[in-house]
Structure 1
Amino acid sequence: MIQIRRYSTLDHDDVWRIHLLVISEAKVEPTHQHYHDILHIDEQYLQSGGEFLVGTGENGTVFAMGGLKILDNNKAEIKRLRVHPSFQQKGYGQMILDRLEQRAKELGMKQLILDTLSNQFGAQKLFEKNGYILQGPAVIDGFNVILYQKEIA
């Protein structure tokens, strides 16, 4: 079972470990400067009014995560949605995404955007299943990504 809660600085090492595993599997350099926000979650997400959630098991170990970064009064970005490879395909990514979307609505957001690496087909399937509309391919910081957008009430 999963328990979802707000990130704490005590989660830093677990969050970094999950990031390294997931991004390495996508064949991308996980320590690229593009991912600097994971090293500064309080400043990049929480202090700016956003959210960063972790999913933990019964023993308290973090195995899932995801962030909501506020861009302006109406728009936020879903970022760093990751599930440890050993726990994928169990619905945990969906649970984190649901909670982030709910938080965005509570904050009055009208639009969510996100991107995923072009070779992360599981993530693409998850986002499309949840009503995210494909905006097209792009290159961000040298990474080939797919852009998505969703209007929320």
Structure 2
Amino acid sequence: MGEFQLRAYRAEDHDQVLALHRTGLAHVGIRPGDGIYYEHDLTDPDTFRSLYLGARSRFLVGEHHGRLIAIGGLKQIDDRTAEIVRMRVHPDFQGRGFGRRLLVALEEEAHSLGYHVIQLDSSSLQQRAVHLYRSHGYQETHRRQVGGAEVIYFRKYLPRQSR
């Protein structure tokens, strides 16, 4: 799989994070103004800090030979529930297990932060992501039409922490 390292987001990653977010969405045909696409949480520094850099949230980046190729955030919904958001792997690096490693790392972060449930969503246009989530035990909870695509919502219960 080559050298792939996951680490915490740093402020100097921001431009690359935004570029990867945009590339990932464009790759599956999701475009600004279509009702699905939004990025305020990534473009507004205060929102980004409050959602992803707090005590019970995380934002991870993945580097392959020094190039930022994967991103993913974990944000608090309530005391028991976290949401995985903005999970992207650059299209040139998909299908190599990087998304799987990122997902596992985000689940481990959620578990270590004391969450019991993880939720996430993906559009029907993102079939690789949908397959990844299902293969990791995420159960579909519902669907709804947003813009030109169907959004699929998932939930996974984490194992109880031993005391």
TM-score by length of 2: 0.86
What per-residue deviation string (whole Å, max 9, x for no partner) do you get for residues 92-132 of structure 1? Answer: 00111001000100111011100001111100100000000
Specify the code of the residue in structure 2 equivalent to 1:9.
A
Find the partner of 1:102 among 92, 101, 108.
108
Report if aligned partners of 1:34, 1:141 keep a CA contact under 8 Å in 2: no
Find the partner of 2:8 among 6, 24, 29.
6
Find the partner of 1:35 among 19, 36, 39.
39
Equivalent residue for 2:152? 146
CA distance in 2, matches of 1:149, 1:13: 30
Specify the code of the residue in structure 1 equivalent to 2:76.
I
Gaps of 5+ in 1: none
CA distance in 2, matches of 1:57, 1:74: 33
Equivalent residue for 1:70? 76
Larger radius of gyration: 2
Find the partner of 1:132 among 128, 138, 147.
138
1:111-126 superposed matches below 5 A: 111-126=117-132
TM-superposed deviation, 1:36: 1.1
What per-residue deviation string (whole Å, max 9, x for no partner) do you get for residues 64-116 of structure 1? Answer: 01010111110000101100011110000011100100010011101110000
Equivalent residue for 2:98? 92
CA distance in 1, matches of 2:118, 2:69: 24
TM-score by length of 1: 0.91
Gaps of 5+ in 2: none
Q: Which moved more, 1:22-31 or 1:108-117?
A: 22-31
- Moved beyond 6 Å, runs of 4+: none
TM-superposed deviation, 1:142: 7.3
CA distance in 1, matches of 2:148, 2:156: 24
Count of residue pairs the alignment pairs up:
152
Report if aligned partners of 1:24, 1:30 keep a CA contact under 8 Å in 2: no
Specify the code of the residue in structure 2 equivalent to 1:109.
Y
CA distance in 1, matches of 2:55, 2:149: 26
Specify the code of the residue in structure 1 equivalent to 2:20.
I
Q: Which moved more, 1:63-72 or 1:44-53?
A: 44-53
TM-superposed deviation, 1:136: 2.2
What per-residue deviation string (whole Å, max 9, x for no partner) do you get for residues 41-65 of structure 1? Answer: 322211252000000122x221101
Specify the code of the residue in structure 1 equivalent to 2:42.
I
